Amino acid sequence: MIKRLCTALFVGLAFTISHAAAQLEVTLNPTNFEPTPVAIPTFEAIGVDPAIAEEISEIVRNDLLSTGLFTITPESAHIQKDVNIEVAPRFADWKIIKSDALVVGSVESVVRDGNELLRGSVRLWDVYGEELMRFEDESGRQVSGRRFLTNPEDLRRIAHKISDAIYTRLTGETGYFDTRIVYIAETGPKDRRTKRLAIMDADGANVQYLTSGRFTVLTPRFSPEAQQITYMSYENQMPRVYLYDLRRGRQEVLGNFQNMTFAPRFSRDGGSVLLTQATNGNSDIYIMDLQTRQSRRLTDHPAIDTSPSMSPDGREIVFNSDRGGSPQLYIMNTDGTPRTCPSGGRDVACRITFGAGRYSTPVWSPRGDLIAFTKQARGKFHIGVIGTDGDGERLLTEAYLDEGPDWSPNGRVITFFREAAPGASPGLWSVDLTGRNLRRLPTPTDASDPAWSPLLQ
């Protein structure tokens, strides 16, 4: 299903590179933040319909704009109309319209083994430094530009790859545009709701439905390593955790649990799934190895223990428990050994949330330093983040219902779902880790439970 995108080095072009002392760099510091102006003239069409080049250029502009880190200089203001990927630009023309960076690209048709392919090429210029900004390729080499080759129907992916390359070069962070989001598509009245598993590109394009809607499905999560999704389904009136293989388009019940299983989430290496099994009124957390299909019980407590999420190094698990009397976040060692709690004392599980309110759905950041959560306080819901030791809680959003955060693969952006007001339609949103750039993600139907894929290959 997923076509591999061919990446190729940008070679064979001679450039004279001037080495400036300080290069353009976009800082992600939340204080005194000013978006960086970038100019992206429509890419040159070489042997392809100019509409294709226009479409790719527009996707790149929208990707960069969606980060909140950049503004795009309107094309009508551009002075130099003859930019060419082979030639250095007239920097003065771009300085005068105050573009810090200039993206120059081309789209061409390439025939390989009798197949017509599409190739997108891009270079990035530091306007004020008057120099080419080199990229680092997948093998760590410095290259003067990036070039991506794929089937013509995957032109959006060429655009997202270009956006990721530019974002990475300007911010120093891994990109997240060539990714997908799995979510629950909702239709019908509230008391007879149809909930289907759906998947789309991270910018909302290419929505596909993976289940028919006959059975309610909930809480899908992407494997951080593979084209797999785990989710909960009420298929055959047996609520269980399922595993969906996107390459094969097949699903299976995960494990041989006797009772309801729910709240699944992959370990960071993708090799295991953490989940909850509820037995006779008591929910506890289990981990299942996807290779051996052996499961191991991680919590054994009469309170509710659910919503587990593993640290990137695999050593710790944050989860939701009401063992203290209300839903709060706790951290335990994956091997179950006691730990020294930030609040003092030693215990197998340490509470890390002490603010006024109820905390749930913790999700460990891919960077490891933060945990995103849902918080309920004073009749409102929030998405927030907190340090793994319970310090530095920050609430990023507030609404009638904000629920279910998940991280972009680079750990910069959080997606979640919101019902803005009582009875309002739920939809998907994203917010920057700093609380800036709150945006709605377009979906054709009501939507909930978004989860981000890893960066595609």
Nearest-approach distance from CB 260 to another protein, in angstroms = 6
The distance of closest approach from Cβ of residue 360 to another protein in the complex, given in angstroms and rounded to an integer, is 4
Task: List all residues 6 or more positions away from 410 whose beta carbon is below 8 Å from its beta carbon.
Answer: 173, 174, 175, 176, 366, 455
Distance separating alpha carbons of residues 41 and 90, to the nearest angstrom: 13
In sequence order, which residues have a C-beta less than 8 Å from that of residue 108 and are 6 or more positions away? 45, 46, 47, 48, 118, 119, 121
Size of the site for another protein (CB under 8 A): 39
Q: How far is the CB of 233 from another protein (least distance, A)?
A: 12
Torsion of CA 331, 334, 336, 340, to 10 degrees: -40
One-letter amino acid of 240: R
44 lies in the binding site for another protein (CB under 8 A)? no
Options 358, 368, 369, 377; binder of another protein; rule CB under 8 A: 358
Nearer to another protein, 184 or 341 (CB): 184
Among 23, 71, 194, 216, binds another protein (CB under 8 A): 216
Residues 6+ apart with CB under 8 A from 379: none
Q: Is 397 in the site for another protein (CB under 8 A)?
A: no
Contact flag: residue 403 with another protein (CB under 8 A): yes
Can residue 361 be called a binding residue for another protein (CB under 8 A)?
yes
Segment 312 to 341, residues that bind another protein, using CB under 8 A: 320, 322, 326-327
423 binds another protein (CB under 8 A): yes
434 scored as a contact of another protein (CB under 8 A): no
Q: Which amino acid is at 197?
A: L
Report the distance separating Cα 246 and Cα 182, nearest Å. Answer: 11
CB within 8 A of 186, min separation 6: which ones? 193, 194, 195, 196, 426, 445, 446, 447, 448
Closer to another protein by Cβ: residue 121 or 219: 219
Six-digit token string for 439: 């945006």
What part of residues 91-150 is at the interface with another protein (CB under 8 A)? none
Pick the closest to residue 181 from 160, 152, 151, 167 (CA basis).
160
Vertex 433, ends 435 and 171: CA angle to 5°? 115
**Shortest distance (Å) from residue 372 CB to another protein:** 13
Q: Is 247 exposed, middle or buried (CB count within 10 Å of its CB: 0-12, 13-18, 19+)?
A: exposed
What x/- string results for residues 265 through 284 when contact with another protein is judged by CB under 8 A?
-----------x-x-xxxx-
Does the protein bind another protein through residue 401 (CB under 8 A)?
A: yes
- For another protein, the binding residue among 4, 19, 81, 190 (CB under 8 A) is 190
Told to check if 384 binds another protein by CB under 8 A, we report no
**Residue 437 is a binding residue for another protein (CB under 8 A):** no
C-beta closer to another protein: residue 405 or 409: 405
- DSSP conformation class of 57: H
Residue 41 corresponds to which amino acid?
Answer: P
Can residue 163 be called a binding residue for another protein (CB under 8 A)?
no
The residues near 431 (Cβ < 8 Å, ≥ 6 apart) are: 383, 396, 397, 413, 414, 416, 437, 438, 439
Regarding 262 and contact with another protein (CB under 8 A), the answer is yes
Is 194 a residue that touches another protein (CB under 8 A)? no
- Among 101-109, 134-142, 154-162, 190-198, which window interacts with another protein (CB under 8 A)? 190-198
Distances (CA, A) of 280 to 256, 283, 296, 304: 17, 8, 18, 12
Candidate list 144, 374, 388, 445; residue touching another protein; CB under 8 A: 374
Of 144 and 320, nearer to another protein (C-beta) is 320
User: Which residues contact another protein by CB under 8 A?
Assistant: 189-191, 193, 195, 216, 218-219, 232, 237, 239, 260, 262-263, 276, 278, 280-283, 304, 306-307, 320, 322, 326-327, 358, 360-361, 374, 376, 400-401, 403-404, 422-423, 449
